[in-house]
Amino acid sequence: MEPKLSSDLLRGHTDTIVLAMLMKGDRYGLEIYHQILARTGEQYELKVDTLYSSYKRLEKGGYITSYWGDETQGARRKYYRITDKGRELYRQNLLNWEFTQKILNKLLKEEDE
């Protein structure tokens, strides 16, 4: 059997994914989009609206901030930067996920490999 990616499951973690992408530095909207596509081997059909509602939600909550870049040529890009509050949320979400994953494995794995 071929494994398939559960997009629904991933979508539930969009905020944390965005925060994770920003942990190593500021990025602009499309950059994050491309990075997610690349890391999931283009298997995850991420819609832009999902991503942007996440940006807006995180920005509203004070977890990220945004600013217009000063590109001299080509279109201007809007960059996102993670805040301390955002880092804290990321770490907490990561802990939650690792914990949940353990429980989920206990619940799901019936057959021993």
Partner 1 sequence: MNTREYIDSLFSDYQKTSALEDFKEELKSFLDERIRTLVKGGMDEKDAFEKATSELGDISAVADEISRKKKQELIGEMYLKTTHYMSTWRIALYVLCGAVFGFGVIVAAISEYFSGDVNAPLGSLLVFGGIPILVFLFLWLTQETATREAMEWKRALLYVVTAGVFLFGVFVFLVTYFEKSAGLPYAIATLIPFVLPSSAFGVFLILTEKDRSKPWVIKQREEYMKRSLERFGDPVQEMRFGLFSAALWIAGIAAFILLTILFGFKFSWLAIVAALIGQMLILATFTKSH
> Do 13 and 40 contact (CB within 8 A), yes or no?
no
Residue 81 binding partner 1, by CB under 8 A = no
Q: Which alpha helices (DSSP H) does the chain contain, by range? A: 7-11, 14-22, 29-39, 48-60, 84-108
The phi, psi pair for 44, rounded to 5°, reads: -85, 115
In the stretch 31-70, what mask flags binding to partner 1 with x, by CB under 8 A? --xx-----------xxxxx-xx--xx--x----------
The smaller minimum CB distance to partner 1, of residues 49 and 84, is found at 49
Local structure of 67: helix, strand or coil:
strand
Residue 87 binding partner 1, by CB under 8 A = no
The smaller minimum CB distance to partner 1, of residues 62 and 101, is found at 62
Q: Using CB under 8 A, list all residues that contact partner 1.
A: 29-30, 33-34, 46-50, 52-53, 56-57, 60, 75-78
